Amino acid sequence: MSSIAVPVPLGAPRRAWLTDLPVLLVAVVWGASYLAAKGITTGHTVIAVLVLRFAVVLPVLVAAGWRKLRALSAAQWRGAATLGLILSGIFLLETYGVVHTSATNAGLIISLTMIFTPLAEAAVTRVLPQALGSAPAGGTPVPRAFLAAAGLSVAGVVLLTQGGGFTAPSVGDLLMLLAALARTVHVLAMSRIKAVRSADSLSLTTVQLGSAVAVFAVIAAFPGAGASPWAVALDFGPREWAGLLFLSVFCTLFAFFVQMWAVRRTSPSRVSLLLGTEPLWAAAAGIALAGDRPGVLGLAGAVLVLAGTSWGRRAAEQDAR
């Protein structure tokens, strides 16, 4: 792939799954996060839930990585804090978006990240995808097979979401579109900021999440930001706390640690393609836990998503070799 990535040698295909599997697990928990977030969040409690979601895991991270955290250079602190600011924007957009649109629309729109990322990667490196033009001398273009696989996956998502039907475009739809763009920026930034590529992943994750929770805490202090985190915490019952812990530990701590680890061992485009299966897992969670029925079109879409992801992984691996 292009020079934007920080890949390890992929000459041994039998080892590729060691990187791919954790990223795929992130897609699974993120898919389940739609139901979890909807179960504990309203338009009046978005900021409070985000503060609680991050604050729950932050002390554990600081305690576990205190020595390496202190060893970070000023440049590494700045790089991780920058990623945290982007991360805060992603979560604000996604959480408000999920509250104000259907899960069907949210899953479809956020999946556009896997199209935005290779195109943005090509734009940043000034190397056009083969499907759009010729690469300059010495350049490494995004392979046609990869773009075709991403398109197949998106087509599968369209069929997958047809089972639930579409709602009229809303503010929530626009927010989810902006969230997909923000996710692309986040993935690319992790591979472009040189300081963070050589630092300890746990320390970088801690600074990143700390920056995000600081942003949410500042917003929560403003009048009209909704219920306070303290009031929301007191109002939570066992079910709400279980949902919050799932979002904190699995969808936040585990997910972003794995993403930072994986993007330094493979390409941003490959990471985003695997994360692009998120709508499939969101549908699976809906079927298993919420009684959703996708129908024949939805099942056909699920097959296309899996086929497109598998094809794209093979294309990315062959190009890297």
Q: What is the phi/psi pair of residue 123, to 5°?
A: -65, -40
Mean pLDDT across the chain: 79
Confidence at residue 136, expressed as pLDDT on a 0 to 100 scale: 43
Reply yes or no on whether the pLDDT at 237 is more than 70. yes
Reply yes or no on whether the pLDDT at 139 is more than 60. no
Confidence at residue 10, expressed as pLDDT on a 0 to 100 scale: 39
Average pLDDT over residues 40-59: 92
Average pLDDT over residues 54-70: 89
Average pLDDT over residues 208-214: 93
Q: Which tokens is 263 given?
A: 């993007």
Confidence at residue 5, expressed as pLDDT on a 0 to 100 scale: 31
Average pLDDT over residues 221-229: 89
Separation CA 80–CA 72 (nearest Å): 10
Residue owning tokens 């923000």: 182
| 230 pLDDT tier (thresholds 50, 70, 90) | very high
Helical packing angle, 238-245 and 46-64, nearest 10°: 60
Higher pLDDT, 209 or 320: 209
Q: List all residues 6 or more positions away from 32 whose beta carbon is below 8 Å from its beta carbon.
A: 246, 251, 281, 282, 285
How big is the CA angle at 219 (ends 215 and 222), to the nearest 5 degrees? 150
First-last CA distance in the chain: 9
Separation CA 224–CA 242 (nearest Å): 27
Q: Which of 142-156, 200-214, 304-318 has the highest mean pLDDT?
A: 200-214
Separation CA 70–CA 134 (nearest Å): 46
Higher pLDDT, 157 or 315: 157
Average pLDDT over residues 251-258: 83
**How many other C-beta atoms can be found within 10 angstroms of the C-beta atom of residue 286?**
23
Higher pLDDT, 44 or 160: 44
Confidence at residue 220, expressed as pLDDT on a 0 to 100 scale: 93
The answer to whether the CB of 175 falls within 8 A of the CB of 96 is yes
Confidence at residue 138, expressed as pLDDT on a 0 to 100 scale: 45
